[in-house]
Structure 1
Amino acid sequence: MEGMSEIDFEKLAEIELRKDEAENADLEGSQLSFAAVSNGDAEISPTHPYYDVARHNILHLVGDDNLGRKVIAFSCCRLPPSHQLNHRRLLEYLKYALDQYVENDYTVVYFHYGLNSKNKPSLSWLQSAYKEFDRKYKKNLKALYIVHPTNFIKIIWNIFKPLISHKFGKKVIYLNYLSDLRDHLKYDQLKIPQEVIRHDENLRTKQKKKPLTAVKIPPPRPPLPTQQFGVSLQYLKAKNKGELIPPVMKHTVSYLKRKGLKAEGLFRRSASIQSIKEIQKLYNQGVESSLRVMNCREIVHGLPEQNYAVLKFLICFLHMVSQESIFNKMTGSNLACVFGLNLIWSPKGTPSFSTLVPINIFIGLLIDFYPTIFSSRSVPGEQLP
């Protein structure tokens, strides 16, 4: 797309939006129309400083995500035709509304359905909007979920890619269906426009008509004896000698009693998702997990040079894959299920189920803790993915 002017991009975006309109009209059996405000939406007082924009309920607070962060939704189907909305006022209103939440961690859900050639803002407006949403707004934005993305989104992404930092880019998560939101948010709290719900149902109906293709799914991994997350309270009680309070709760409360009772803003800010995942992983693998990692490092460091180089190259790549598990659904554990038996095999033939579990645990540790296990030994002419 090098060499294209802003006018060319504008035309390309217009073409893609018209394709979306035609496809949606085919899905729904009728021409698109602009949505009226639903009865379930909050009433906006005429004295609101941005009443002319706010009355459309384009932006609304819809509860919390799974980590307790406020969720703000932007619904494109609520955008009126461009000649009925001052887009400069829209930008000012968005900043005014977000100012109530940006001091703490927050999440945005962008419902793309409903954006069309008649209500879309210009590319120059989008560029000025991105610039005006400075670090104050971007710093505490922890995730931007784009629901029902189309080729139009890909074009916009290519236009803005030179401006967007890698760190911010990792916050953008694409979701093809509304049900995918359940993995991240308290779905029942969401006030999803009926137009978006109907569109989602139409997409699913269309998907069901497509011929099914066989997909290889990694075999389910049974919970570890030390598993603390993703299991029932009854499981934890049975594995912890009848204790009613889960160990992670005991440890956390004990620590906060000693260290955190006088901390300003306690619980106001949530930790990064990556930190939470690492802590969950450590608990799930037992309190001796750090010792396991050290043992893993000793084992792989004892390999011959070429074996070590090949293993390091592969595990480095698998670690990269696992870092994008929110998109590809392949965590270190899932990857270990696929690669475990390909990397370690028994000279006595097919391994039993009892040996399969520790093999997968070992490979999972190599993937999850790649920086710790492999960073201290390099090889001549080393190449990493």
Structure 2
Amino acid sequence: MTSTSDLEQLAELELQDDEDEDEDGGQRSVPLRSTPDSSHPFYDVARHGIIQVSGDDRYGRKLITFSSCCLPPSHQLDHRRLLEYLKFTLDQYVEMDYILVYFHSGLRSSNKPSLAWLREAYGEFDRKYKKNLKSLYVVHPTSFIRIVWNLFKPLISKKFGKKLTYVNYLTELGEHLNYEQLVVPPDVLSIREKNREAPIPPVLQQTVSYLREKGLRTEGIFRRSARVQLIKDVQRLYNLGKPVNFDDYGDVHVPAVILKTFLRELPEPLLTFRLYSQVQDLLSVESSLRVSRCKHMMEELPEHNFIIAKFLLSFLHLVSQHSLVNRMSPSNLACVFGVNLVRSQRGSVSLAELNPIHLFTEILVEHFHTVFGSRCTPAQGTP
């Protein structure tokens, strides 16, 4: 077994590797933020803009951000004061539901608090702080985060662990909350620019974006067809690398069909041929264990496939939450998308094979947060 000291050493090595991959040579820009008055009781810490309180999310919960890129070199900051300031800030909101967003990019050997400090900080946040924390989003995680999480795992309750979500891209953060309300430092925004070649295919990115904005309340979305010629026209544009404006077609079912067609025509299904036999065995798994089995299956996917699957299923989960209007329950979505996500290498699927495929896909949609919520997939090209 790996000892605590070994993990601490490994975490430090991973952090140094992250720094080596940083393309900006360590030059940090000054973040845009509200500047506290010099009479602020924690002005010495608050002036750095490390902790910011933003507007409410879509459910009226306060958004609080912690930005590592705003941390000055350790010799310029009293980390005990930082902890006191964090508690001072949270004390104003812990009686209500609130959300924490941690921007990891910018943490370096020169400005990181010690692991002993992290242990102390976690120990001081008693039940009153954890009770109303609804979600903790870790944005742009790296291998360093995963190692530190393993280091702290014995101290962290399962209930608290379920509140943690890793987010690789700001667009992905937008699936959970309106990040436009957040005070996002320029260094974090620049990560979005460096990752504009993110692994989400443009067809998927654009159809999902359009449907999220204009198709969630459309009855029968994904169950209706569109004019064949329109679909061919759009496919031709994508094949030529030309821009597509779905408003030009006046039919929300066009991007819906394009999305299904894209997934169906992949040479290998998004969830890979290798997963097919495991999906077929799902009916033999005890009902209470099926969600955890699906989670394990997803975690076996290659990282690229996992990221794309998480992006897609997050959207389908959102569609299902509007099922009273659009009539697309997790079960209905599974009937539409199941065979487009997983199939055997021989191509055809018998009627007997459809049931486990539909069950599997329904679980992915309905239990999205459980299935996809805890795998750390380090963002490519981020510190």
TM-score of the pair, normalised by structure 1: 0.58
- Whole-angstrom distance in 1 between the partners of 2:55 and 2:77: 27
- The aligned residue for residue 21 of structure 2 is 23
Deviation at 1:202, TM superposition (A): 1.0
Change (3 A) 1:120 1:361: closer
- Whole-angstrom distance in 1 between the partners of 2:341 and 2:103: 42
1:148 aligns with 2:140: yes
Report the aligned-residue RMSD. Answer: 4.1
- Whole-angstrom distance in 1 between the partners of 2:174 and 2:292: 25
Deviation at 1:177, TM superposition (A): 0.5
| Identity score, percent | 49
Moved more, 330-339 or 172-181: 330-339
1:200 is aligned, of 187, 192, 200, to 192
2:59 is aligned, of 51, 61, 67, to 67
- The aligned residue for residue 300 of structure 1 is none
CA contact 1:35–1:78 (8 Å) conserved in 2:
no
Aligned amino acid, residue 338 of structure 1:
G
Deviation at 1:186, TM superposition (A): 1.3
Measured against aligned partners, the alpha-carbon deviations of 1:335-359 in whole angstroms (never above 9, x if no partner) come to: 56437999xxxxxx977xxxx99x9
Change (3 A) 1:312 1:18: same
- The aligned residue for residue 87 of structure 2 is 95
- The aligned residue for residue 71 of structure 2 is 79
Deviation at 1:11, TM superposition (A): 2.8
Deviation at 1:49, TM superposition (A): 0.5
- Whole-angstrom distance in 1 between the partners of 2:292 and 2:158: 15
Instruction: State the SS of the aligned residue for 1:142.
Output: strand
Measured against aligned partners, the alpha-carbon deviations of 1:123-172 in whole angstroms (never above 9, x if no partner) come to: 10000000001111111101000000001001100100001111111100
- The aligned residue for residue 32 of structure 1 is 26
- Whole-angstrom distance in 1 between the partners of 2:143 and 2:8: 14
CA contact 2:31–2:186 (8 Å) conserved in 1:
no
- Whole-angstrom distance in 1 between the partners of 2:52 and 2:114: 23
1:12 aligns with 2:10: yes
1:313 aligns with 2:305: no
- Whole-angstrom distance in 1 between the partners of 2:73 and 2:360: 57
- The aligned residue for residue 235 of structure 2 is none
Change (3 A) 1:124 1:338: same
CA contact 1:340–1:363 (8 Å) conserved in 2:
no
Q: How does 1:176-325 map to 2 (within 5 A)?
A: 176-205=168-197, 207=198, 231-232=216-217, 311=283, 313=285, 315-320=287-292
- Whole-angstrom distance in 1 between the partners of 2:41 and 2:148: 31
Aligned amino acid, residue 30 of structure 2:
A
Moved more, 196-205 or 12-21: 196-205
Instruction: State the SS of the aligned residue for 1:154.
Output: helix
CA contact 1:10–1:122 (8 Å) conserved in 2:
no
Deviation at 1:201, TM superposition (A): 1.7
Relative contact order higher in (CA < 8 Å, ≥ 6 apart): 2
Change (3 A) 1:310 1:102: closer
CA contact 2:282–2:290 (8 Å) conserved in 1:
no
Q: What is the aligned length?
A: 263
Change (3 A) 1:314 1:119: same
- Whole-angstrom distance in 2 between the partners of 1:92 and 1:158: 25
- Whole-angstrom distance in 1 between the partners of 2:340 and 2:193: 39
Instruction: State the SS of the aligned residue for 1:161.
Output: helix
Deviation at 1:360, TM superposition (A): 5.2
1:120 aligns with 2:112: yes
Deviation at 1:182, TM superposition (A): 1.1
CA contact 1:64–1:185 (8 Å) conserved in 2:
no
Instruction: State the SS of the aligned residue for 2:174.
Output: helix
Aligned amino acid, residue 148 of structure 2:
I
CA contact 2:74–2:110 (8 Å) conserved in 1:
yes
Deviation at 1:76, TM superposition (A): 0.5
- Whole-angstrom distance in 2 between the partners of 1:182 and 1:136: 28
Instruction: State the SS of the aligned residue for 1:80.
Output: coil
- Whole-angstrom distance in 2 between the partners of 1:10 and 1:167: 25
Aligned amino acid, residue 116 of structure 1:
R
Change (3 A) 1:230 1:48: same
Q: How does 1:343-382 map to 2 (within 5 A)?
A: 364=362
- Whole-angstrom distance in 1 between the partners of 2:341 and 2:106: 48
Instruction: State the SS of the aligned residue for 1:53.
Output: helix
Who wins on radius of gyration, i.e. which is larger? 1
Instruction: State the SS of the aligned residue for 1:72.
Output: strand
- Whole-angstrom distance in 2 between the partners of 1:118 and 1:235: 54
Change (3 A) 1:350 1:19: closer
- Whole-angstrom distance in 2 between the partners of 1:196 and 1:167: 29
Deviation at 1:317, TM superposition (A): 4.2
Deviation at 1:15, TM superposition (A): 1.3
Deviation at 1:316, TM superposition (A): 4.1
